[in-house]
Amino acid sequence: MRIIGIDPGLRICGYGCVQIERGALEPTLVEAGIIKLNTKADIPDRLMQLHEELTDLITEIKPDQMAVEKLYAHYKHPRTAILMGHARGVILLCAKQVKIPVIDLPSTEVKKSFTGYGHASKSQIQLAVQTQYSLPEPPSPPDVADAIAIATTHARRIAVEQLG
């Protein structure tokens, strides 16, 4: 089963695709990268760009499921949550248009899955992903590592469910 993990953003949207075989405990990394949005464009144009590029990526990678970080709002930055909600809405639309299920994962669960600590820093996630997949260097920017971690966390859930 192929899972694409998405770390939503309006400047950079990270993605990571992993594959988990039936009976395997750990997934393999298929592909990862970013969708870099035109920061000089207004929000509607960025959302259109995100939709077009993510749709193309999904068509190319052919995931069976999508895992996306749950939206959270910090009381000091409510505008950020609203703007991220726009990007997340486009991401969910892309998945729905190609009929793949979407799984929401809290960032604390992803961080705990990878580092044992639900409030791990971006650099800790990058190093954990590098170690997990024996990469020559930490995935950069951090959005890529986050997306890989999101996909991997869901793949591990699937592996555990298949064991039970």
Instruction: Name the nearest CA neighbour of 110 among 77, 150, 78, 76.
Output: 150
Known active-site residue 143 = yes
Residue of 21, 31, 42, 69 marked catalytic: 69
Residue of 26, 143, 146, 161 marked catalytic: 143
Known active-site residue 104 = no
Catalytic residues: 7, 69, 143
